[in-house]
Amino acid sequence: MRTLVKICIFIVGALFIFSGFVKADDPLGFSYKLQEYFEAFGPAWKWAIPLSLPLACFIPILEMILGFMCLIGAFKRFTLWMLFLMDLFFTFLTFYTAHYNKVLECGCFGDAIPMTPWVTFWKDVAILVLIAIIAIGHKNYTSVLSPKLEKAAVILFIAGSIWFSWYCYNNLPVIDFRPYKVGTDIKKDMKGGIPDVLKYYYTLKNKKSGETKEFDKFPDNYQNDWDYVSSRTEVVKKGVEAKIHDFNITNLDGINCTDSVLSNPEYSIFIISSAIDAANTSDEVTKKINDLVANCAKHNIKSLCLTASGEDDINKFKQKTNAQYPFYNTDDTQLRTMIRSNPGIVMIKDGIVIAMWHYHNIPDYKTLNAQYFHK
């Protein structure tokens, strides 16, 4: 029993730390997922949408702390109860979303390991079983540190978890699991999918007898004896979705410019702002972007802005920031996935993501020239 309890402690602790880490690594991305959950619950949960970001910062920190305390055996009764209640809540949440098909990916492991709600539900059930085993064998669940060291270790871990989440929110994910991470060939990943293998069925009604029958193909000259009623499609073999989908760049007249923009063989500076009316337009950020764009233009390096906002908001933004670069439209979800910063800077060359920066870390031309352009 002692060995079994230790194995369960390690699995539960490690899973909670990992689950918290990958979400704390990308708190803004996790907030988008929480917002998706609240919207899926219906109008009664609209009040919770503004809480998405605070919860996205708090939940991963709590997960990591509980996982760590589980591993070292700290505050055993409190830790076990919190682990149980937290996992019970996640179990209910994933069952609800899976049963009613509300959210297609649960987000429990962020973008690191995409999981369907049903897979996540059974994972949470398994964790409940492991926690129950630890509780039953609690006599074998002992602290690995002295009381003073235990408290010191927990305090340090709490401080480290808070700092890590704060750092990732104010910069970019330390480990990037997103489809637009540095090194991604956007054009290639847009074409990399494998379509589903489909089988089609047709329901026909016999003109003489009135009998309806389903066929996997139309009989020869079926119009003589049968009337068409309906059809259905069955997925025989699930395909593989392209890593990047629904990514299109159009100019403000609605003309698709995706290929021409991504096929530029030289470096390009993409200013990414999903909702341009919510972008950081402080004097410092605006000056850094405008200076970078101006210096790049002197050396024939193109700059452009991708946004999901309409022309009215773009014009207001231009007047406020004196933006001297062209604007294009792209899907909001794709832009929020591309970079967790509004605005953010992404450098592209021939469709390949070379580097990206949060608005807190916008580089100047001299830095880019030394690191990239003259290499």
Hey, where are the domains in the chain? Answer: 2-170, 197-237, 258-373
Other CB atoms within a 10 A radius of the CB of residue 21 amount to: 21
Tell whether the model's pLDDT for residue 290 goes beyond 80. yes
Q: Region 189-193: what's the mean pLDDT? A: 78
Angle at 232 between CA 226 and CA 234, to 5 degrees: 135
Predicted local distance difference test score (pLDDT) of residue 361: 94
Predicted local distance difference test score (pLDDT) of residue 330: 94
226: its two tokens: 């049968």
Tell whether the model's pLDDT for residue 111 goes beyond 80. no
Tell whether the model's pLDDT for residue 58 goes beyond 90. yes
Confidence label for 106 from pLDDT (cuts 50, 70 and 90): low
pTM of the complete model: 0.80
Tell whether the model's pLDDT for residue 105 goes beyond 80. no
> Rounded to an integer, what is the distance from CA 61 to the centroid of its chain?
18
Confidence label for 119 from pLDDT (cuts 50, 70 and 90): confident
How many angstroms separate the CA atoms of 35 and 332, rounded? Answer: 14
Tell whether the model's pLDDT for residue 92 goes beyond 80. yes
Average pLDDT, the chain: 89
Torsion of CA 253, 256, 260, 263, to 10 degrees: 140
Question: Domain 258-373 is classified in which CATH homologous superfamily?
Answer: Glutaredoxin (3.40.30.10)
Instruction: Look up residue 223 and give its DSSP letter.
Output: G
In angstroms, what CA-CA distances link 122 with 29, 115, 129? 24, 11, 11
Predicted local distance difference test score (pLDDT) of residue 217: 86
Predicted local distance difference test score (pLDDT) of residue 39: 83
**SS3 of residue 371 by DSSP:** helix
Burial of residue 19 (CB within 10 Å: 0-12, 13-18, 19+) is: buried
Tell whether the model's pLDDT for residue 252 goes beyond 80. yes
38: its two tokens: 């609240």
Tell whether the model's pLDDT for residue 192 goes beyond 70. no
Confidence label for 37 from pLDDT (cuts 50, 70 and 90): confident
* pLDDT over 90, % of the chain: 57
Tell whether the model's pLDDT for residue 16 goes beyond 80. yes
Listed in sequence order, the residues at least 6 apart from 299 whose beta carbon sits closer than 8 Å to its beta carbon are: 365, 369, 373
Which of 318 and 196 is assigned the larger pLDDT? 318
Confidence label for 107 from pLDDT (cuts 50, 70 and 90): low
Lowest mean pLDDT among 101-115, 124-138, 176-190, 283-297: 101-115
Tell whether the model's pLDDT for residue 152 goes beyond 80. yes
Q: Region 135-162: what's the mean pLDDT? A: 90
